Structure 1
Amino acid sequence: MSFKKDLKLLVKPYYLINIFLSVSYILSKRIPVICNYIFAQDDCELDGRETEILFFLMIVIMIRTRKTGSVTMINYLTSSFVYTKVANLILWFYADVRMGILFAFIFILCALVLPEPTYQGPENVIYLRGANGLQEELQRDTKVVWLVAFYTAWNPACVTFAPIFSELSAEYALENFKFGKVDIGRYPDAAAKYHVSDASTSKQLPTLILFKDGKEVERRPYADHKGKLVKFLFSLDNVKAAFDLNNIYNDRKKNPIKRKEKKSLKAE
């Protein structure tokens, strides 16, 4: 199902144009007609320096996509676009300064005109205002279970995880099982209180914390007994398994908030 969704997304202009820009130099070098016209040379082969740049690019993409927790084809593409386009920019400048300037103009224009498509599906997420906002919700009714994502808007792993969290909220959210998000870039007090690093090199972004009876009972990623952070891949199935969402959902559904409790909550 995930692969089919990815194929549907690939036909969107953002992905098509970015894929073309990412392979533009190689295509121009390897297709004789284009190569002869642009580079005015009969030998349409990559030289040693160009091969080195492309090989270095492959290593960078592999490292960065692993760090961002990319688990689908679209995730890999999105994570790699910046690096592939920068590499193409360097290659075009290396071949011809004029072509480099033209590519840079197209690069910037596409970034301005074609932003990355955002998740458009259903979601049931409550956006919380810092540590106080979260604490108020936790104390409002301790019978409500909360799964809260701590994130920043600029972190690639958080951007990748956002649609997954939205899908989970649409599937599992109930009146007594809620999904919340806290932007610790805007509310650093929440980062400090719940011990989530918002540094640019942080390996704790995003962080998911499960609250029961108003208290933290589970989080990912977590630190082991030596204080070392245990890596966690934020895929749909991994989150479901790690937080036992199916059992929580079934338990919460069997034990809904009673009407009297609802009235008292409204009175408050």
Structure 2
Amino acid sequence: MEVATATEASAPAGSGRASWQSHPFPWLDLAISEPYYFLHLLAFFSYFAARSTAPSAEDDGELHARLIRREIQAVLVFLVLFTVKIVKEENWETFIADSLLYAKGLLLAVTFVIDYKLSICYLLAFVVIYAVAQQPPYDGLGHSNHLTPLQLETMLTEDPKTRFCLVEFRTSFLANCIQASSVLPELSNIYSNKNISFGIIDLGHFPNAAPRFGISMLDHLPTYILFDKATEVARFPEIGNATKVFVPKVTKKLLCQHFDLDRRLIEYLST
């Protein structure tokens, strides 16, 4: 597995250096250019203006002291949750989504101390942001390809270049798909070889492909199917899963174990 480790380390490192050289503050460019991040940024910074409406220590010393305590508590709680998430999460999209969720909840709790009407206004603002903006998915492809259903069928049946093909079926409007959008490209950087290839099909563009592959658009997205030539040999989540509520979060480790990618890579290296 030394080859896989080396590939995993070199691919992200190279892309990270390139992005840093092209833009010294890529996160700032993203925060301004993407409506989802920009609107959240405006909402959070607007708290400083809303904070000025709170009673001062001279006007209401007790309320002012309680607000200060709540602000300190909110910052400390957020830092703890932030630290836990950054250690546990595998992908950046899920980390950002969860961090924003925690920040919004704590902001609502703090503004409720100032005035419950202000808290309601922030709640409505977050609902509007959710309605008009969407978290952008991971924009890299690694060694995977965006496919149409016809391209997938052709790739599987007409003299396939690789024996196995792992395909992700997702939509661009579901939070679960957006938060897992970096998993398959990163896996393709590690495992892509002459024995296995990777592809992505957006069911939002090709909804008729969902029933062809036995995929429900209402739940269990994203779905991952491993094909051996034109035959399906495994999928996640599996059809007929006893529970449709507690589906494990999609991670690189989960997919590696479920599809036994390490063994397939070893078989390729040994041939």
| Shorter-chain TM-score range | 0.5 to 0.7
CA shift at 1:191, angstroms? 0.7
For residues 120-142 of structure 1, the C-alpha deviation after alignment (integer angstroms, 9 at most, x for no partner) is 66601111113x33211110225
The reply to whether residue 217 of structure 1 matches residue 233 of structure 2 is yes
In the superposition, relative to structure 1, how do residues 76 and 170 fare at CA in structure 2: closer, same or farther (>3 Å)?
closer
Pick one of 136, 140, 145 that aligns with 2:154.
Answer: 136
Alignment of 1:1-268 (within 5 A): 12-13=27-28, 14=31, 35-37=54-56, 41-43=60-62, 44-45=65-66, 71-72=89-90, 74=92, 75-79=94-98, 81=100, 84-85=103-104, 88=107, 92=111, 95=115, 119=138, 123-130=142-149, 132-142=150-160, 144-199=163-218, 202=219, 204-224=220-240, 228-229=243-244, 231-255=247-271
For residues 212-235 of structure 1, the C-alpha deviation after alignment (integer angstroms, 9 at most, x for no partner) is 1311000111135x7655723211
Which residue is equivalent to 1:265? none
SS in 2 for 1:178: strand
Does the 8 A contact of 1:23 with 1:88 survive in 2?
no
Identity of aligned residues (%): 22
Q: How many residues align?
A: 223
Does the 8 A contact of 1:209 with 1:220 survive in 2?
yes
In 1: Cα distance, 2:122 partner to 2:46 partner: 12
CA root-mean-square deviation? 5.0
TM-score by length of 2: 0.60
For residues 201-250 of structure 1, the C-alpha deviation after alignment (integer angstroms, 9 at most, x for no partner) is x1x111111001311000111135x7655723211111111111112123
In 1: Cα distance, 2:57 partner to 2:126 partner: 17
CA shift at 1:71, angstroms? 4.1
For residues 157-205 of structure 1, the C-alpha deviation after alignment (integer angstroms, 9 at most, x for no partner) is 1111111211101111123411011111111121111111112xx1x11
In 2: Cα distance, 1:40 partner to 1:218 partner: 67
CA shift at 1:252, angstroms? 3.1
Residue ranges of structure 2 left out of the alignment (5+ in a row)? 1-7, 9-15, 21-25, 32-36, 79-84
SS in 1 for 2:208: helix
CA shift at 1:118, angstroms? 5.5
In 1: Cα distance, 2:236 partner to 2:41 partner: 33
Which amino acid letter does the alignment assign opposite residue 179 of structure 1? Answer: F
**Higher RCO structure (Cα 8 Å, ≥6 apart):** 2
For residues 31-83 of structure 1, the C-alpha deviation after alignment (integer angstroms, 9 at most, x for no partner) is xx99545995322436xxx9xxx9xxx9xxxxxx9xxxx94585244145258
In 1: Cα distance, 2:265 partner to 2:147 partner: 22
Which amino acid letter does the alignment assign opposite residue 159 of structure 2? Answer: D
Residue ranges of structure 1 left out of the alignment (5+ in a row)? 59-64, 256-268
In the superposition, relative to structure 1, how do residues 185 and 119 fare at CA in structure 2: closer, same or farther (>3 Å)?
closer
In 2: Cα distance, 1:236 partner to 1:38 partner: 52
Does the 8 A contact of 2:91 with 2:183 survive in 1?
no
In 2: Cα distance, 1:115 partner to 1:95 partner: 29
Does the 8 A contact of 1:123 with 1:169 survive in 2?
yes
In 1: Cα distance, 2:120 partner to 2:243 partner: 45
